[in-house]
Each structure stands twice: as C-alpha cells, then as structure tokens.
Structure 1
Amino acid sequence: MGEYVVKTDARRPSVIVVGAGAGGVATAARLAAAGCKVTVVEKNDFSGGRCSLIRREEYRFDQGPSLLLLPRLFHETFEDLGTTLKDEGVTFVKCEPNYTIHFHDGTAFKLSTDIATMKQEIERFEGKEGFERYLGFLQESHRHYELSIIHVLKKNFTSYLSMLRPKFLQYLNELHPFESVYGRASKYFWTERLRRVFTFASMYMGMSPFDAPGTYSLLQYTELAEGIWYPLGGFHTVVEALVNIGVRLGVEYQFSSPIKEIRLSPDGKRATGVTFSDPTRKPLDADLVICNADLTYAYNELLPTTAYGTSLSKRETSCSSISFYWALDRQFLELTPHNIFLAEDYKESFDSIFKKHLIPDQPSFYVNVPSRVDPSAAPEGCDSIVVLVPVGHLFDSKSDTHKGSQNAPGVTQDWDTMVAAARKTVLGTIEARLKISLGPHIVDEVINTPPTWRDSFNLDRGAILGLSHSFFNVLSFRPKTKHPTINELYFVGASTHPGTGVPIVLAGAKLVTEQVLRDLNLDERIPSAKVSNRRAKSSVSPLDTEQNSKWLQWLLLALASLMLWLLFQRA
C-alpha cells in the first residue's frame, strides 16, 4: 500500500482549492498528505458538487452519478493516501445484472459480467457465431481500456508536444480515435439492437455514439469485465470519505463561501488567493490556487477576460439532462437497479440532443433504483427512483430562453414544456414496455433541468459533463491542468485533462498533485510507493519542458501535424 511521505518542515506551501467536487476534495487530501496547508472554499453548503445527495424525508437520491465504474482508480486514490475504502467505512456492492435494456417492442437484453449469461443473451439476437464476435469486441475494448489507463489517464499532456511521446504514438492507431464507438461496434455486432446495446455508454461522457471516438468502448469493457458497483449510502459516501481524510490531515473546509474572483498579483502573472462574493469577508491569500469550479465558468467569471476564455464558451460541450427524482409509496420489482429504455429512432434521438439541443420526440433514458441494492435509500416497501433524460445543453451560458442558435435557428428552449413532455414520455414508455404504472405512486418529486444544473453548480450551458470528448477536445487539445500564462494557478475537474467522470477526475487529481509538488520542488512528497524522486523527475518527457529550442519545437509540431493528417487520411 502506498502512502505519502509527509514532511512538515519550513517548506509548507499554503493552497486554496476552489470547489469541493470530487476532484477538489481528492486534490486537497493528497496535498495535505504531502505537507501542504490546504483550505477548500465551496459555494454550496455541501461537498461533492454533482456527486451529492438529495434527501426528501426518508428517501435518498444520488443527484448525479449513480453507478461506479473503473473501481481500480477509486482504490488507488485511497491507497495513495495510506488507507482503504473499507477502512474509511465505504462498502461497494455489485449490481447484477449490470443493466436491463428495454427495446421499443417490449423485448429486453440483460448486460452482465457473467459469461454464461452473456453467451445466452447474445446468441438470442446474433446467433451462434455472434458470441465469438462478442469476444472479439471484448478483446478490442480491453485493449482500449488498458492503453488508455497507461498512456492517457496516468500521463499529463502539458503541451502539444506531449502527444509525440513515442510510447503513446506507438499505440495511437490501436485506440481508433478517428472512428466512432458505433462504427467500431458495427464491425462486431450485425444486428441493430446489439449495436445499440454496446454503444449507449458513450452517454457517460455526454456524447452521441455516432460521434464519440472508438476508444471509448473502454467504458463498455469496464462494465463487462469489472462490473457496475454502488456505494452503500449513496455515491456521496466516497466524497465524504475523502473529505474526512483531508480533515484528519489538516484540510480546512469553508462551505457556503462563493467567491467573486481568483486574486492575481499586480502584474497579473501569479495567483495569490481568492476574493469572496460576500464583501464583509476578508480575501484569502495562498501560495497557489487550484480551481475545481467548472472550467469555462472559471476562465470567464473568476479570471480576467481573455480570448482563450471566450473560446472555451464556443467549444463543443457535453449534453445536459432533465433528471427526475421520484419517491414512490410502493416497490416495482420489474425495474432492476439500472435500466435503459432505448428509443426506436436511435440515431435521430441523438441528433435532436447534440445538433438541435432539444429533447428528442422519442428519448432514450436511464432509470436507476438505488433502493433495489441499498434498502436505506427508501422506506421499507417503497422505492426511490432517479430518471435521467439526456437533452441538449443551453444555447448559451447566460440564458435559458435564448431564441435561436447557430445549430437551431429560431428554436426556443421552453423548459417547462420540455419537462412536461419528458415526464409524460417516461411514464408512458415504462407503462407500455413493463405494464406498470408509476405515476399514481409518486408521492414526492424533485427535478433538475439545464438551468438548475447551471445555477446550482455554475455549469457552463448547463452541460452536466463539461466539455465534449471529441478528438480535438482530448489529450493535448483539452484545457491543461495548469494555466498557460498565470503562475501558481492549476485546474482539476471534468473539463480539464484527463476528462469527465468521477474515476477520471480522481486520476486527474493525482496528476495535478504530482505537477504541483514538482513545480514546488517537493518531488520527495509524491507517493513513495508509486514513484521515487528519481523516477518522478525522469518521467517528465523532455518534450514537455520549455528548454527546447524554437526550431526543434516547430519541427516536432510539423511532424505531429503530418502524422495526424496521415491518420485522418486512413480514417
């Protein structure tokens, strides 16, 4: 088990972390374990951000994530901090089956980690030869998974030159970044139904399977090989455990403390602290600042306006959601813990979300029943249900009634109408396919929409998963973990490298922590069991340093451009 080499000598930098989301609390705990003096300021009166809970009397709902993937990244975070999830009182339970997927005609497919179950289910739709093709898909997605863990999630991409790492380039083509998830799945599955079954997971990144790079079949792989897990007590127990570890290590949390700006030195070249929105509160100073607020919001609202900040507001972003949180006065055992209801017009539904930024006429949607695996989520004999309906993000950052956009001229986002339509469609679809009527048994309801996601968590355009993961929004193209011109200012969270999703953000927290400690010349405080001082220094590629001569940088960039062009030609 790894643990930080904690030293408390005179070199004890002070750090402010803005935001107590998963990335913020993980980074705070890691830096505190490395001997830093850490203060976390959070606008809300709770931790976790989207990874928080909604409580309504005896009912409990996960506000955002409701299933746990890539468990190895969770375990690694706690092991690096010298503890375990079990020691912190966090218990994972496995969900079986992973999902029940319901098609428009009433047929269903059960996704499972059990190989016998999968053989039977696949052959039911694809015939005897289909199972061998499934094993081929599993092999390819396994390759995507392992290569991405090694060469993307555990590596920082601090410049465009970072993509020229020989080991990364060696495997780039095997990651199929220039083909879509749907396109790759179509090579292994010959029925339209199973192509849908093995591609809908791209919605975890808020992307259409027809646009998401083929690399992201790794999401399907981790479900099939490692399973879907649920933390008893709700997903927030993981965040709460990290908060508790941080507090034990000396982290100070200041909740209900929205900030007005990240303070800079007079020359604007260094972050020096934060100014609170409350004018009666004194500014808070620190040696460096790590921002876990929504990245686009931070660049445009917490920092001086720049062309780069403006460009972030124009980048392709993920979708949003209309999410219903329903308290039911009885149980419906026809619903498993995780259910997917797929639209008959599959591609058209995604086009409506990602091209028109609206709700599809026939939306695909996800139904989570936490009380099915965790009885504490609802009173005895009752169910708590979360329904997530993917919809387009807001047309712009400020308004939810903006009439028209470049993608949908003359169209108005009328959220009251869309919520009513979504509710009617969800209840009607469930009743038609499962022959159950939920509506009369809903005794309480909470709703999140793109405007509420924006207002509660400062999410640009209400996009629940931050910036998109299209090829030119990942790796060196994704916003960096360190500000390009302001020293002592770092970023962690969904829209910065390596990307969105709680396990990915936890991997990012580790990258940011190591970057901060190296920049402070405190390499010896990086987890001793993971990397020695010598290896930490040598692992920084010469291509990432600023000592390269200008002509060499231009030469490498030209080679990179040529290589990308050749890959596009092949695609």
Structure 2
Amino acid sequence: MPNSKKKVVVIGAGVAGLASAIRLQHAGYEVELYEKEALPGGKMHRIDMNGYQFDLGPSIVMMPELYREVFELTGRDPDDYIPMQKVDPMYSTYFGAKAQEKYDISSDLIELMKTLENISEEDSKGFLKYLQEIYERYLVAKNHFLQRPFRNFTDFYNPKTIRQMFKLKTFDSADHFIGKYVKNERIKQILSFQTLYIGVSPYNGPSLYTIIPMIEMLYGVWFIKGGMYTMASSMERLFKELGGKVYYNASVDEVLIKEQKAYGIRVNGKEILADYVMCNADFPYAMKNLVKDTKAKGKYTDKKIDSMKYSCSCFVMYLGMDRKYEELDNVHNFFIADELEKNLNDIFDGNKLEQPSFYVYVGSKLDPSLAPEGKDGLYILVPVSELSSSKYEWTDETVQYYRNKVMQSLKNVKGFENIEEEIVAETYMTPRDFESKFNAYNGACFGLQPTLTQSNHMRPQSKAKNCENLYFTGSSTHPGAGVPIVLLSAKIATEELLLDDGIKEKNEAGLPELVTN
C-alpha cells in the first residue's frame, strides 16, 4: 500500500479504464475516473430504444476467468456482479449469398467432431492436428508474451524471450497456417473468420491469432445476464464501492506535462492535479490530441500516428422487431460471403463491399428482459473499412446500401422472409460514430492492427517511453484488442505503475510482485 494516499486520474471509462481504476483503488490509491460520455463502458456501451436494449459493441464472452478476476481480486464473488451462462452451440455459421448452408458450432468436442466429419473426415483429422499445434503456441503466448510488458529493449531482446518467440512461428498468415492441416474451404473459414474479432483479416493477419477459435472450442463461449453492458456497469459499481469517484460528461482536453513528467489533466478547461495519469483513451488519439508536449510524444509524432496500420471498422444496425425469431437457433450467428477472401481484401483495401459478411446477435434470446415481451432485438454487425483507407464516404446512401445488402441475405433465412416489415425501431453506428463518440482513431473499432511490426515489443507499451507518471491501457496498447486481452492490458498497466511507485518489484521471471520487506 502507498505510505500516504497518492492520487491517480484515469482518462476514459472503457473496459481497461474501469479495470485499471478498480485495481488501483484496491491497491490503496485515491482514484478519479473521467469519461466524456454519460455512461461507463466505452465501446462496451448500451443502446436503449423503445424498450429494446442492445450491447453497442462487444457481444461474445470468451475467457470468462479474466472477466471474473477483476472482481475476485477485491474479494467479491463475480456471480453477484456478472452472472454468466455457457452458450452451446456457441454459434451458427451460414455460408453463401443465400445462406443455404448452415452449421452449428459446439464447444462439446463430440458434437463438434460430428459436425466437422459431416463436412470432411480427412479434414477433421487435420483439425485435431491444428488444435494440438495452436494449443502449444497458445501456452507460449500466454506465459511469455500476453501477460508481461516490454518496457525496455532487453525485456524482449534476450536469449530466453527470443527462443520463445521462434516457438510462436509468427511469419505466416492465419489462413495459410490452417491450410497446412485443413483443405476444405468451409472448415478453414470456420477456423479463421474469428481474427475479425480483433479487426484483422485471416488472409494476412499473423497465424498466432488462430488461437481465438481454439479458445472458443476448448473453453467455450459465455453470456452475461443483461448483456455485455452488465460487465461495464458492474465494474463501475465495484469501483464506487471501493471508494472511487467517477465523473461523466467530462471530456479531457489535455494531459498536463512539465519537463517530461505528467502531473494531471485538463478537463473542460479546469486543471485536475494528480501523482499519476492512466490513459484509456485510444492511444493514437491520445498521442495526437492529449499529449501536446513534443518531447513526451517521443517517436509517436502526428506523422508516425498517421502512418501506422489500423484495424477494420464496423457498421452496426440495432433493430427492434415486432416478434420473436424462434427460427434462429442461436444467439450468435455468422453469415459468411461466397467470396470471403475478396470480401475481406475489399475491407482492408477501402472498397465498398459487393457481398458483405456479417454477424447477427440476438441477446434477447437468452435474456428476454432485453426486449419488450414477446419480441426480439437484432444486433447486426458488418465489418467495413476504417476511415483513412476507405475510398467512399459514410452518407445516408452508404447506410442504406449496406442495410439493403444485409436484408437481401437475411430474407433467404427461414423466418426472415418479411424482416423489413417487422422492424418497429432502428438505429445505427457507423465508423464516423465510433470516431466521434469514442475517439476511436480513424473509426477503427479495434485500435491498431496487430501486425508483426505492431505487436509485442513494437506495439505501444503501458509505460510512456518519454514521460514519467504517464501510463496507457486499452486495445491499441500491448497486448492488443478484444475484451479479455484489454483486461490483461489493464493488469499490465497498473502493475507497471506499482513497479514505479515501489509497491512491486520484478521477480526472477521479470514479472512484478509485491515488495515484502
């Protein structure tokens, strides 16, 4: 515990901001959290519309132990805050423009093997080889990369870490790696589209990210009662129970820096002084707009920020429907285009999509309280280009273009023949909305792309390189995007702060542990 209460200000009540605030408040700091919106959660926000409630962004719960850890570390029972249930089958996948092929994907290995064998016995054998290979690499990533910072050159460039890095075999794309074991195109796509969860294409994203379907298949997919927003509101509740203070509608203008040392923030023109600043604003946005001291920016100049590669964005439709859709078996549904590779190449080349793939989430299927009685709400997400690479503008016509494409596909699914006539309320989020509402740089929903040159030690780190007392957390920082990984980012960032404050020191493995003397 700090000798006398030191003050930390946290910028942004996104997932990582809330988790960092909880960890620091629990560690004995006086923590104040400043959020520009009126609700907690950042992109884990909620949309309320005519009695329908929608998760705004994230919707799939993986690695539930990381969600639970935030509550457990403070001595709370997570079930009192985020009651969960396992989802099985995890999701349905529909293939083709007319969604004529459908497969239910289970995390029960017996059921999963039956599904795969019905597609191809030979490739089912290859699937098991893929599973063994990627599980070995997952253990290396988990134990040597995902949970540790790379503050200094030697944290990465040392014999032990380099040896582990070669075990990751990162110089391959996800699609090519899976293709070594599986030839059937349908099974390959079932095992690779999940790289879009972190905004990268399986056709050029590093093969390591095929750990995502592996985690689903070995550990399952879960649902939090009340939807994902329950996680955000419960973290806020816990933070307040611990004595933390939250200020909403409080837009941060600047990180106050003098002689390369942060000493607070400016909020709506008012200076708030602090011993440490934890920034959960998107790293590229923060470096360009909040860190105004040139020396404190270091290599992250405006030119550098603009030259970096960004993840894809999303167009999301939130539809209140006038009936239940019993014909849809699952809460999570993926509609995969005939020409998936062209579809994904067009996203990252900035082209308007001729036949988009998309995802349909029906939270009210598992929690009827999310919609009026006897009705469902449909959340439909289309991965699209981020703003800097997009060759088209987001206008009302663009919204209608993508809306029509989705409707044309869905009308082929049993029960959805009259979908357009059954909509009673609707709203949207476009890349422009993600940029303006959440300061997502270029509207990139998942922050910086996790390319080889933007991962691990080459990704922005928690501890600012050129400024003392300033720390970063969130999807554009190490270890990356996705709710479980962002929760790890919060853990790393708070441990880096505790390390600098003398509360923790590095052990023989190079990881922080509490000072015992």
Same fold (TM over 0.5): yes
2:346 maps to what in 1?
A: 352
User: Given that residues 351 and 392 in structure 2 are in contact (C-alpha distance below 8 angstroms), is that contact kept between their aligned partners in structure 1?
Assistant: no
| Counterparts of 2:474 and 2:178, CA distance in 1 | 29
Compared CA separation, residues 509 and 426, structure 1 to 2 (3 A):
same
Compared CA separation, residues 435 and 231, structure 1 to 2 (3 A):
closer
| Counterparts of 2:83 and 2:313, CA distance in 1 | 30
1:287 maps to what in 2?
A: 275
Letter of the structure 1 residue corresponding to residue 322 of structure 2: D
| Counterparts of 1:167 and 1:78, CA distance in 2 | 33
2:82 maps to which of 59, 84, 90? 90
User: Given that residues 180 and 212 in structure 1 are in contact (C-alpha distance below 8 angstroms), is that contact kept between their aligned partners in structure 2?
Assistant: yes
Pairwise mapping of residues 142-157 of structure 1 onto structure 2 (< 5 A)? 142-157=135-150
1:217 maps to what in 2?
A: 210
| Counterparts of 2:108 and 2:464, CA distance in 1 | 45
Q: 1:36 offset after TM fit, Å?
A: 0.5
Q: 1:414 offset after TM fit, Å?
A: 4.1
1:60 maps to which of 24, 29, 53? 53
| 2:302 maps to 1:302 | no
SS in 1 for 2:300: helix
User: Given that residues 14 and 287 in structure 1 are in contact (C-alpha distance below 8 angstroms), is that contact kept between their aligned partners in structure 2?
Assistant: yes
1:483 maps to which of 433, 455, 464? 464
Q: 1:145 offset after TM fit, Å?
A: 2.3
| Counterparts of 1:40 and 1:434, CA distance in 2 | 47
| 2:29 maps to 1:25 | no
| Counterparts of 2:348 and 2:341, CA distance in 1 | 11
| Counterparts of 2:346 and 2:336, CA distance in 1 | 15
Percent identical? 32
1:443 maps to which of 424, 436, 440? 424
1:540 maps to what in 2?
A: 510
Letter of the structure 1 residue corresponding to residue 339 of structure 2: D
| Counterparts of 2:507 and 2:184, CA distance in 1 | 50
| Counterparts of 1:439 and 1:194, CA distance in 2 | 32
SS in 1 for 2:243: coil
User: Given that residues 262 and 302 in structure 1 are in contact (C-alpha distance below 8 angstroms), is that contact kept between their aligned partners in structure 2?
Assistant: yes
| Counterparts of 1:249 and 1:541, CA distance in 2 | 26
SS in 2 for 1:434: coil
User: Given that residues 176 and 213 in structure 1 are in contact (C-alpha distance below 8 angstroms), is that contact kept between their aligned partners in structure 2?
Assistant: no
Post-superposition Cα deviations, 1:471-504, rounded to whole Å, max 9, x if no partner, equal 1110010011111111101000010111111111
User: Given that residues 29 and 249 in structure 1 are in contact (C-alpha distance below 8 angstroms), is that contact kept between their aligned partners in structure 2?
Assistant: yes
| 2:30 maps to 1:37 | yes
Q: 1:192 offset after TM fit, Å?
A: 1.1
User: Given that residues 325 and 446 in structure 1 are in contact (C-alpha distance below 8 angstroms), is that contact kept between their aligned partners in structure 2?
Assistant: yes
Post-superposition Cα deviations, 1:142-182, rounded to whole Å, max 9, x if no partner, equal 22322221111211111343223444333323322111110
1:381 maps to what in 2?
A: 374
SS in 2 for 1:308: coil
Q: 1:371 offset after TM fit, Å?
A: 0.9
1:562 maps to what in 2?
A: none
1:253 maps to which of 243, 246, 250? 246
1:102 maps to what in 2?
A: 94
Letter of the structure 1 residue corresponding to residue 399 of structure 2: V
Post-superposition Cα deviations, 1:397-422, rounded to whole Å, max 9, x if no partner, equal xxxxxxxxxx67xx432432221111
Letter of the structure 2 residue corresponding to residue 500 of structure 1: A
| Counterparts of 2:230 and 2:236, CA distance in 1 | 10
Which shows bigger deviation, 154-163 or 28-37? 154-163
Letter of the structure 1 residue corresponding to residue 343 of structure 2: S
User: Given that residues 141 and 220 in structure 1 are in contact (C-alpha distance below 8 angstroms), is that contact kept between their aligned partners in structure 2?
Assistant: no
Q: 1:66 offset after TM fit, Å?
A: 0.6
SS in 1 for 2:301: helix
Post-superposition Cα deviations, 1:487-543, rounded to whole Å, max 9, x if no partner, equal 1010000101111111111111111111111101112xxxxxxxxx6xx4444389x
TM-score (normalised: structure 2):
0.94
Pairwise mapping of residues 63-74 of structure 1 onto structure 2 (< 5 A)? 63-74=56-67
2:492 maps to what in 1?
A: 511
User: Given that residues 322 and 388 in structure 1 are in contact (C-alpha distance below 8 angstroms), is that contact kept between their aligned partners in structure 2?
Assistant: yes
| Counterparts of 1:63 and 1:83, CA distance in 2 | 27
Post-superposition Cα deviations, 1:327-350, rounded to whole Å, max 9, x if no partner, equal 001011222201110111111101
Q: 1:117 offset after TM fit, Å?
A: 1.6
Coordinate RMSD, CA, aligned: 1.7
TM-score (normalised: structure 1):
0.85
User: Given that residues 155 and 511 in structure 1 are in contact (C-alpha distance below 8 angstroms), is that contact kept between their aligned partners in structure 2?
Assistant: yes
User: Given that residues 102 and 433 in structure 1 are in contact (C-alpha distance below 8 angstroms), is that contact kept between their aligned partners in structure 2?
Assistant: no
1:270 maps to what in 2?
A: 261
Letter of the structure 2 residue corresponding to residue 270 of structure 1: K
| 2:375 maps to 1:367 | no
| Counterparts of 2:77 and 2:124, CA distance in 1 | 38
SS in 2 for 1:133: helix
User: Given that residues 369 and 383 in structure 1 are in contact (C-alpha distance below 8 angstroms), is that contact kept between their aligned partners in structure 2?
Assistant: yes
2:411 maps to which of 403, 420, 431? 431
| Counterparts of 2:379 and 2:421, CA distance in 1 | 16
Which shows bigger deviation, 382-391 or 417-426? 417-426
2:474 maps to what in 1?
A: 493
| Counterparts of 2:410 and 2:399, CA distance in 1 | 17
Post-superposition Cα deviations, 1:301-349, rounded to whole Å, max 9, x if no partner, equal 1111555132122200100011000000101122220111011111110
Post-superposition Cα deviations, 1:187-239, rounded to whole Å, max 9, x if no partner, equal 12111111111100000110110111111111001110111111101112112
SS in 2 for 1:389: strand
1:318 maps to which of 297, 311, 325? 311
SS in 1 for 2:124: helix
Letter of the structure 2 residue corresponding to residue 103 of structure 1: F
| Counterparts of 1:55 and 1:167, CA distance in 2 | 50
User: Given that residues 394 and 432 in structure 2 are in contact (C-alpha distance below 8 angstroms), is that contact kept between their aligned partners in structure 1?
Assistant: no
| 2:331 maps to 1:331 | no
Which shows bigger deviation, 433-442 or 338-347? 433-442
SS in 2 for 1:518: helix
SS in 1 for 2:103: strand
2:336 maps to what in 1?
A: 342
Compared CA separation, residues 359 and 97, structure 1 to 2 (3 A):
farther
SS in 2 for 1:90: coil
Letter of the structure 1 residue corresponding to residue 198 of structure 2: M
Q: 1:16 offset after TM fit, Å?
A: 0.4
1:418 maps to what in 2?
A: 398
Letter of the structure 1 residue corresponding to residue 272 of structure 2: L
User: How many positions carry a matched residue from both structures?
Assistant: 503
| 2:193 maps to 1:205 | no
| 2:106 maps to 1:126 | no
